[in-house]
Each structure stands twice: as C-alpha cells, then as structure tokens.
Amino acid sequence: MSNHTFQQFAINPTVSQMIEGLGFKEPTPIQQQVLPAALRGESLIGQSHTGSGKTHAYLLSLFNQLDEKAEHVQFVITAPTRELAIQIHEEVKKAIKHAEKEQVWRSKLVIGGTDKQKMMDKLSSAPPHIVVGTPGRILDMVKEEAIDLYEAKAFVLDEADLMLDLGFIEEVDQILVRMDPELQILVFSATIPERLQPFLKKYLKNPTYIQTDDEKPSPESMEHRLIPLRHKAPADVIMDITKAIQPYLAIIFTNGKEQADELTNDLLSRGLEVGVIHGGLSPRERKRMLKELQNLRYQYIVATDLASRGIDIQGVSHVINAQMPKEEEFYIHRVGRTARAGLEGTAINLYKEADLPLIQKLEKKGLSFEFYEVKNGEWKEINSYNERQMREKKQTDLEKKAKQMVRKPKKVKPGYKKKMKQEADKNLKKLKRERYRKK
C-alpha cells in the first residue's frame, strides 16, 4: 500500500475537490514526480508511456495556477492527432465539471475538420483560459489573430516523438516563437529520439527530466505468434484466427488508411463486425467510432499506426498485424497497446518472406516468436521460417565436404575440372545416402 497522497502537494481546495470528484485515490509514479516540479513552474521533460496518468500529471498542475479573472489564454495543450486532442479536451471538461467551475473556466478544442470561420468567431468573442488542439489549427488561429497566446503561462507538448514523426514540430516551433520566452514548457513523450534534441535545447533551459518505467509495456514477456500468409488474402487468415481466439478487444493493424479501408470491407463482406479508425475519417465519424469503442460495440477494430499512438483504447487483449510494420519501433508501439495494466497480451503477426529481416531484428532485441497456423478453429504449431535456410545450409556443408574428398590429379590434363566435378557429384550422392541411412 502506497503512502503517497495528493494532499502532499501544494494544491488549492478547488483542485482537491476536482481530484476527489475524479475518484483518484493516490498519484501514479509519473504524477508523483511531475506534480511537484510543475507546481513550482519548472519546465520539464516527462518520459512516460500511454496509460501512466501523464495527462492528469500536467492538467492538475495547470488548473492549480488558473486565474479565472484573467481574460486571456493561460494554457496551451498540443497533441499530434485530432483523436488525442479530443480525448484530452474531454478530460479537461470532466475536471472542470468536478471542480464545479463550468460557468467560470473556459476551454476550447481547436482542431482541423471543423468550420474555420465559426471557430474564429467563437475564439474572438470570448478567449478561453485553456486551448487544447493540434498544432496546425492552433497556428492557423494565431495567424488569423483569432487568439493571442503571448500572455499564456504554460505550453504542453504531448506525444512529442509522434509529433516529430508526423512532421508537426515545425508548426509547434512557429507557435512557440509567438509566445512569451519565459513560458513554462511541459514536454511528454514515450521516447526521446536524438532528432528531438535540437528542439528541446532551443526552448527548454535546464529542464527537469523525469522518467518512469512502471507502466512501460514489456513486449519480451508477451506471446508473439507468426502465421505465414502463403499467398492467402489477409482477411481469410484473420477469419481463421477469429475462430481460435476470444478477444476482449483486438486491434488489427495495417500500414495505411487505404489498406485499413480495404481490409475492413473484406472482413465485413465475410461477416465479421469490425470498426475502423484512421486519420482519413471525418471528425464526426471518428467521434462516433470512439464512442462505440467505449461502449464495447466491437470486438475487432482495424487501425493504422497513427491512430494507435493517438488514442488510448482500453482493454485490448490481442494485437493482430495484418501487415507487419516497416520498422522495429512501430512493432513495439503496436504490441504495446496490449499487455497493459496487468493484462496478458498476445500479438499475432501475418508475415511474408519480405518481413523476415524485421523479425530477425526483433529477435535480436529479445522477442521470441512462435510459428503457427489455424486449422479447423485450432492453433497448430509449424516449422519456423529458418527451417528451409537450415536445410540449405546443411546442403552447402555436404557439397563442401564432397569437394574436399576429390583427389586432385598430380598432372593437370584437359578436362580435369569436369572430371573433378563429376567425382564431387558422386561423393555428394554417397554422403546424402549415408545421412539418410543414419536417420
């Protein structure tokens, strides 16, 4: 039992009421470390995985310093995807409700895919205290002079590594140059890639660095199954898999939105009820899909890597890779959606010969793969991908031995190479017969 409580932090009565309303009993490891530094107004880098409680680690500290009398934007929270921005904004609204400040504290979701002019009018008429959104649309609103961010006290950059991967760091940079240089900056990221360092050095002067491993998914402890595609349609193999598993929720990954749509249609036509989520859906479709996921309507959801990083989907028991990703990191992120919060997870991978280099790299990282196919609704273990390679290696070894057994003539005569080859072939046949007899 932990001795840590939220009362140990210098928080005001309104935020205490909020915490009680949200039902939080004790701070998570990331909250224990972030809250003291953030409440002191320090800029920080928090390295932590999805599901660790990082959203409330920064939200609680921001709410604690909110000045409801100030009629300007005080906090800006940026996320790389609309889905994640929507999710964070929902948490902001929930917290405001529990603080009983709905009539006083104003927050605004600023994302693309919505009526730009309507958004500009709303922002201009009553500036929100808190802005949550995607960098592109926030920058749009600043350039259109619908909002002024210079007086803001704090700026949050969530999922910074994904922000970098998607090429949004430039837009974040353009937002920050229009803000107060003395601003408190809170950066959160699952990983801190080297390419992110120039940005961090530019804006964060002596930041507090916080890292927690408590909630880190452990792919090494998971089960990883490989199923050869062998020219079959991925939808057919997935239909076989559904007869052998009973997932609470399974995410089926593809490498792009076109592939996601195609696979979804293929599975629907085969009678499997699946949802789909990717960056190409309209805001209304995405909102509806997230709601249906929360209401447990689907057992299977087809998704892209972008959606996987931008949404915290609860209760994932299985990850099915309909297509293996191109990079090791993406595989780790995908399987990290499961085996969380004490759940045991299973990753099922449909693979082709072209995927073998990736599988070998992952094996070097300590991941262990087992080879299966599904027959009549049951798992059947099969030979691994390198069985053939081993057979080929044995064949090569025999050929070498057969050549070594050939006696080289003392005098080289015309056609000696041909004779040596014939003798080596004879030896090879002899060695093969001997090996067969031993078996």
Residue 437 forms part of a structural domain: no
pTM for this entry: 0.64
- Tokens linked to 23: 């039902």
Q: Are 96 and 17 in contact (CB under 8 A)?
A: no
Residue 397 forms part of a structural domain: no
Note whether 94 and 146 are same-domain residues: yes
Note whether 73 and 205 are same-domain residues: yes
pLDDT > 60? residue 333: yes
pLDDT > 90? residue 307: no
pLDDT > 50? residue 56: yes
Residue 185 forms part of a structural domain: yes
Note whether 89 and 236 are same-domain residues: no
User: How many helices and strands, by DSSP H and E, does the chain display?
Assistant: 17, 15
Tell me the β-bridge partners of 322.
Answer: none
Last residue of a domain, one of 211, 231, 265: 211
Q: Is 394 exposed, middle or buried (0-12, 13-18, 19+ CB in 10 A)?
A: exposed
The pLDDT of 246-256, averaged and rounded, is 88
- Whichever domain contains 61, its CATH number is 3.40.50.300
Give how many domains the chain has, as a whole number: 3
List CB contacts of 248: < 8 A, sequence separation 6 or more: 299, 315, 316, 317
User: Per-residue confidence at 291, pLDDT binned at 50, 70, 90?
Assistant: confident
Note whether 297 and 330 are same-domain residues: yes
Note whether 266 and 344 are same-domain residues: yes
Using alpha carbons, select from 171, 80, 75, 85 the residue that is nearest to residue 133.
Answer: 85
| pLDDT tens-digit map of 6-50 | 888 888 999 999 999 988 888 888 888 899 999 999 999 998 766
Residue 438 forms part of a structural domain: no
Last residue of a domain, one of 211, 235, 251: 211
pLDDT > 70? residue 437: no
CA distance 47 to 427: 62
User: Per-residue confidence at 217, pLDDT binned at 50, 70, 90?
Assistant: very low
pLDDT > 50? residue 391: no
Note whether 189 and 243 are same-domain residues: no
Residue 51 forms part of a structural domain: yes
User: Per-residue confidence at 344, pLDDT binned at 50, 70, 90?
Assistant: low
Note whether 74 and 175 are same-domain residues: yes
- Tokens linked to 173: 């940079």
Residue-number span of the structural domain to which 346 is assigned: 219-381
Q: Are 73 and 152 in contact (CB under 8 A)?
A: yes
Residue 1 forms part of a structural domain: no
Note whether 169 and 275 are same-domain residues: no
pLDDT > 70? residue 221: no
Residue 346 forms part of a structural domain: yes
User: Per-residue confidence at 215, pLDDT binned at 50, 70, 90?
Assistant: very low
Q: Are 311 and 279 in contact (CB under 8 A)?
A: no
205 or 239: which carries more pLDDT confidence? 239
Note whether 265 and 413 are same-domain residues: no
Q: Are 63 and 133 in contact (CB under 8 A)?
A: no
Note whether 102 and 132 are same-domain residues: yes
**Across 74-129, where does the E strand assignment appear?**
75-78, 107-110
Last residue of a domain, one of 164, 189, 211: 211
Hey, how many other C-beta atoms are within 10 angstroms of the C-beta on 116?
A: 14
Note whether 266 and 332 are same-domain residues: yes
Note whether 48 and 92 are same-domain residues: yes
| pLDDT tens-digit map of 139-171 | 999 999 999 999 999 999 998 888 887 788 899
Residue 322 forms part of a structural domain: yes
